[in-house]
Structure 1
Amino acid sequence: MHTIFEAIIIGIVEGLTEFLPVSSTGHMILAQSLMNTQNDEVMKTFDFVIQLGAIMAVVIIYWNRILSLFGLVKRKSQSMTGKKLNLLHILIGILPAGVIGLSVNHFVDDHLFNAVTVIVGLVLGGILMIIAEKKKGQPSTTVMDDLTYRQAFFIGLWQLVSIWPGFSRSGSTIAGGMLSGVSRAASADFTFIMAIPIMFGASGIYFLKNYHALSSTDLPFFVVGFLVAFVVALLAVVSFIKFVQKMQLTYFAYYRFVVAALFALYLLLS
């Protein structure tokens, strides 16, 4: 039986880390390890459902941009050439993770949702970010509207490594975008918009796969976690998105190394 206290703590962790390239999934797994939370089907489904709560904050912030993708509102392009981001960019970006993710999700659930793999992911993801900062040149694409279909596809490919818990979806895609000639700010914007259909899809899949393991007694646990993640993310999202757009990934990499080292020490001593 999972507690409301666990739901609140994990919801706060999710809301604070979803928009930073530090791996919200990895931080939730580490938090659950510290609290000795049972890593069962209910908890795995819970992790995805509360991520959806945090993503709802992105829906609110990017609401006009999302509506413009469907032609429901008109907006002025930020592109110097008058181009606009469209639904095909999003589809191309989510396709690699959608196809590969479905085929390996059982393996990830059974073997990678643990503190040791998160530590490895934090370190390797941090190394990727440092490489992206050192190898980046003058970006050919400075705003999201100028994103090419090829760049959208490569960002989607980089998202595949975030299937490993601890790598970070935003960290992988922002780093991948920078290596593909996209500015840090444009990569971050595309990452956050691309996360909306991915998280809706992942939450739906996990719920359908594991709904038989859920009961009515789990409802308060899910509702509290979802609401806490949504509220915390909504309070943090504006400043955090601007922070990620401007701050070098190298600093986030150093943070990841410190967290990985501290938790590795904790595991050795426990």
Structure 2
Amino acid sequence: MDIILLIQAVIMGIVEGITEFLPISSTGYMILSADAMGFWSKDKVDLFVVVVQLGAILAVIYDYWGRLWQAFMGLLTGKAAGMSNPRQLGLSLIVATIPVMLVGFTFADEIKTYLFNPITVAIMLIIGGLLIFYVEKRPKTVIACEAEDVSLKTALMIGLFQCLALIPGTSRSGATIIGALWLGVSRKASAEFSFFLGIPVIVGAGLLDLAKHHEVLASSEDWLVLAIGTVVSFIVALLCIRWLVAWVSRRDFTIFAWLRIITGVIVLLASWLFGYQMVG
């Protein structure tokens, strides 16, 4: 058994758990981390990067089980509970999921073939950082204080923003949180709606990719590496979720914009100095 490979899987799980819900692109940082460590072959890394996100999204389901269950029951019964509207949350999540499902299922293989590389990640990190600066500078009028208040129209627009996250380096959380802020959703509600919206998208993408490409995991050690990364990402994400909600309730995302831009510039410089090539 390759101990170094298992340690690398732990590191990758930590990277996923920390970055999944921050507006800095978990996929981008996972690709960069794998590239820097020489972690696995490209086909295995591509599968690992998608499937290990299941651990992080299970942390959301665990931490928000009560509200998610209310949303599910609201869809079934058509009833709202208290002042919030769990049925509205359920409907909004369905509407917001449709665009990325259509685009993702149609172009998943092409995206992985041509865009899963450090150069694409670097460019999108920089572009995303500049967009964060722009949105944070804009005057904001709050139209939805809680995730349950997000209208179907706003949900559809957030879902369209989420499609941009299919490009590595964009950040699913970044696209949905910043997009929601742009549309007038409060900071706390933007973060939580983004968490919830990740459930159908990440679970669907992870299970589909595992079903389509499971043959690249040729040994029990391969499956162990994937399992370790997934479990570690669950534990780390569980520790990060509440911290992020507390953070966005008090502060803006400027620090993450700087982090994205600095990382992107470093990768582009490395590509120039050390000769990274586009893959695909």
Conservation of the 8 A alpha-carbon contact between 1:20 and 1:244:
no
Using the TM superposition, give the Cα deviation of residue 99 of structure 1 relative to its aligned residue in structure 2, in angstroms: 0.3
Instruction: State the Cα distance separating 1:148 from its structure 2 match.
Output: 0.6
Match of 1:7 among 9, 31, 39: 9
4+ runs of 1 displaced by more than 4 Å? 72-79
Amino acid at match of 1:111: Y
> Per-residue displacement from partner, 1:57-116 (whole Å, max 9, x unpaired)?
11111100111012289985454xx67533211110110000011111111110111110
Q: Following superposition of structure 1 onto structure 2, how do residues 106-185 of structure 1 map, counting pairs within 5 Å?
A: 106-185=109-188
Q: Offset at 1:188? A: 1.1
The AA in structure 2 aligned to 1:16 is: I
Moved more, 94-103 or 248-257: 248-257
CA positional deviation for 1:212:
2.0
**Structure 1 residues 11-20 or 260-269, which shifts more?**
260-269
* 1:208 and 2:236 matched: no
Between the aligned partners of 2:216 and 2:111, the Cα distance in structure 1 is 19
Task: Report the 3-state secondary structure (helix = DSSP H, G, I; strand = E; otherwise coil) of the residue aligned with 1:228.
Answer: helix
What residue is the counterpart of 1:227 in the other structure? Answer: 231
Q: In the TM superposition, what is the alpha-carbon distance from 1:168 to its structure 2 partner?
A: 0.5
Tell which deviates more after alignment, 200-209 or 228-237: 228-237
Query: Residue 70 of structure 1: SS of its match in structure 2?
Result: helix
**In structure 2, distance between residues paired with 1:158 and 1:69:** 23
- Aligned with 2:23 (options 11, 17, 21): 21
Q: Matched residues in 2 for 1:78 and 1:37: separation?
A: 49
Deviation, structure 1 residue 6: 1.8
Residue 103 (str. 1) matches residue 106 (str. 2): yes
Structure 1, unmatched stretches of 5+, are none
Structure 1 CA distance, aligned partners of 2:176 and 2:261? Answer: 19
Paired position in structure 1 for 2:264: 260
Corresponding residue SS for 2:116? coil
Question: What is the SS of the residue equivalent to 1:20?
Answer: coil
Structure 2 equivalent of residue 71 of structure 1: 73
Answer whether contact 2:6 2:228 (CA < 8 A) is retained: yes
Give the conservation status (yes or no) of the 8 Å contact 1:8–1:228. Answer: yes
- Counterpart-to-counterpart distance in 2, 1:120 and 1:228: 28
AA matched with 2:70? S
Q: Does the CA-based 8 Å contact 2:80-2:86 persist in structure 1? A: no
Distance 1:84 1:77 in 2: 12
Q: Residue 48 and residue 83 in structure 1: after superposition, are their counterparts in 2 closer, same or farther (change >3 A)?
A: closer
- For 1:105, the aligned partner's letter is A
Per-residue deviation, 1:164: 0.7
- Give 1:183 deviation, angstroms: 1.6
How far residue 125 of structure 1 moved from its aligned partner, in angstroms, is 1.0
Letter in 1 for 2:111: V
User: Root-mean-square deviation (CA), in Å?
Assistant: 2.1
Residue equivalent to 1:36: 38
Q: Once the 2 structures are TM-superposed, how far is the Cα of residue 44 of structure 1 from its aligned partner?
A: 1.2
**TM-score normalized by the length of structure 2:** 0.89
User: Normalization by structure 1: what TM-score?
Assistant: 0.92
User: What letter is aligned with 2:25?
Assistant: S
Count residues in correspondence.
268
